[in-house]
Amino acid sequence: MFYRLSGVHHTRYEDTRRLWPIPADRRLVAVLFLLALSAPLWLSELYLQNYLLPWLIWSAATLSLTLLMGVAGQLHFGYAAVMAIGAYSAIHLVRLGVPFELAFIGAGLVAAVIGCLFGAAALRVKGLYLVMATLAMQYLVDWVIVNVPAISGGAHATLQAPEARVLFFSFADGLTRYYFAFFWAVFMTLFLLNTKRTSFGRALVAIRDKDYAASVIGVSPFRYKLLAFFSSSFFGGMSGAVLAFCFYRAVTPEQFGFNVSTQLVAMVLVGGLGSVIGAYLGAAFVLLTPMILSNGIAALSDAGWLSVSANLLAHLPLMIYGALIIGFLLAEPLGLAKIYDNMRNYFLVWPFKHSRR
């Protein structure tokens, strides 16, 4: 009903090949886009800067990891290190006087080159062994940042994001930070949606499904595995730069530690491997649920409905969060995106459930 198909006639090939062939999907996307575009008007500063903004940035980062893990099937457990390289490169480039727009691309390039270097391991190893190789990248990058004061920013290992402007808008302004992150997330979304239907995307899928078979049909695993790591690290590095300039505004090595890498992998997996909407749902779940839970439980405790020790109070949200992850994955192993997909499929034919989909 909601996703009505009757009366929708595609009379040209372009129509069927659109990103969202069903009008209801298009309307939904348009509404979400307008809502996000007008968010500064209807959302308080607190929720804009602390919920929506990080959510968009992390979703963009998850999308670039989805390209690697979901589309190309290459596991990466050091993605926070890729983002760290991007963040630090962007800050150092801007400090050297490079305009932000160029530094932004430069950050992507540096991250891509270094990411590619470690990604080269993927040419020889797969699965758990690739996880180990990318883990090594995480620890090596961490170590280099901490041990080279020129990179980390001296004894305190805190590097302030310098004053910068993007197309005449200063990052000192909260609105610039929000809109830059927003358009970055929009760009990443369109990029991934379109990549999946290009020859490049299909080649990556072929590699994911069976690299041996892919090479038999003429898809070079060497080329496409490296390309997957290159492009994913490129955008991951840029997302790291967005994170540094739009959200943290000061970078320390702890912000890109191993725990952040596992969070990113969790975002991809909980959201649904290879899904665009899943990246958004996964990022929301991993990033925002702990905040909402601990605020909710603290509010309950403040209202006097819950009297437990401070220690348990702090751990209660973690327990619920863990239970939620298990619950969601038990209910739908393919992730939150699949839950949405199930609902959409249900409404696609509702109320004629018996009909063919």
Partner 1 sequence: MKKTFKKGMIGALFATAALAAAPALQAQETVKFGLFHDFTKVYTFVADEFSQGQRDYLTLINEEGGIKGQKFEAIVRDHGNEPQRGLELYNRAREEGAIYFMFLSTPVANAVVPRALQDKVVLGTPLHGRGDAMVGETFPYVFPMMASYWSQAARLLKYVEDTQGGLKGKKIAHVHIDTPFGREPLPILEKLAQQKSFELRAFAYPSPGNEQSAVWSDVRRYRPDYVLIWGAGNSQMVSVREAVRNGIDPSKILSVVWLTETDMKNIGESTAIGVKRVEVVQPGRDHPIIQRILDKVYKAGKGAGPEARVGNTYYNYGVADMVIATEGAKLALEKFGPPLTGEKLKAGMEMIRDLDTKGFMPPVTITPQDHQGGGQARVSQWDGKAWVPVSDWAAAYQDVVWEEARASAAKFSQAK
Q: Which residues bind partner 1 (CB under 8 A)?
A: 44-46, 49-51, 54, 95, 143, 146-147, 152-163, 247-250, 252-255, 259, 287, 290-296, 298-300, 302, 309-311, 313-315, 317-318, 327, 331
Q: Whose Cβ is closer to partner 1: residue 35's or residue 292's?
A: 292
Residue 121 DSSP one-character state: G
Q: Is 62 helix (H, G, I), strand (E, B) or coil?
A: helix
Residue 43 DSSP one-character state: S
Q: Whose Cβ is closer to partner 1: residue 6's or residue 309's?
A: 309
Q: Whose Cβ is closer to partner 1: residue 44's or residue 194's?
A: 44
A 10 A CB-CB count for 21 gives 13
Q: Whose Cβ is closer to partner 1: residue 54's or residue 73's?
A: 54
Q: Whose Cβ is closer to partner 1: residue 49's or residue 195's?
A: 49
Residue 120 DSSP one-character state: G
Least Å distance between CB 275 and partner 1? 19
Q: Whose Cβ is closer to partner 1: residue 155's or residue 167's?
A: 155
Q: Whose Cβ is closer to partner 1: residue 141's or residue 207's?
A: 141
A 10 A CB-CB count for 303 gives 8
Torsional class of 127: left (φ above 0), alpha (ψ -120 to 50), beta (otherwise): left
Residue type, 332: E
Least Å distance between CB 201 and partner 1? 31
All residues at 6 or more sequence positions from 41 whose CB lies less than 8 Å from its CB, including other chains = none
Q: 253 and 140 in contact (C-beta within 8 Å)?
A: no
Least Å distance between CB 173 and partner 1? 12
Angle, helices 258-271 vs 276-283, to 10°: value is 130
| DSSP bridge partners of 250 | 160
Least Å distance between CB 13 and partner 1? 38
Cα of 337 vs its chain's centroid, Å:
14
Q: Which helix (H) or strand (E) holds 165?
A: strand 165-166
Least Å distance between CB 104 and partner 1? 18
Calpha distance 146→213 (Å, rounded): 43
Calpha distance 100→286 (Å, rounded): 30
Q: Whose Cβ is closer to partner 1: residue 96's or residue 213's?
A: 96
Least Å distance between CB 185 and partner 1? 16
Calpha distance 168→136 (Å, rounded): 40
Least Å distance between CB 347 and partner 1? 14
Least Å distance between CB 98 and partner 1? 15
Calpha distance 254→199 (Å, rounded): 38
Least Å distance between CB 249 and partner 1? 5
Q: Whose Cβ is closer to partner 1: residue 174's or residue 201's?
A: 174
Q: Is 236 helix (H, G, I), strand (E, B) or coil?
A: helix
Extract the tokens encoding 39. 């968010």
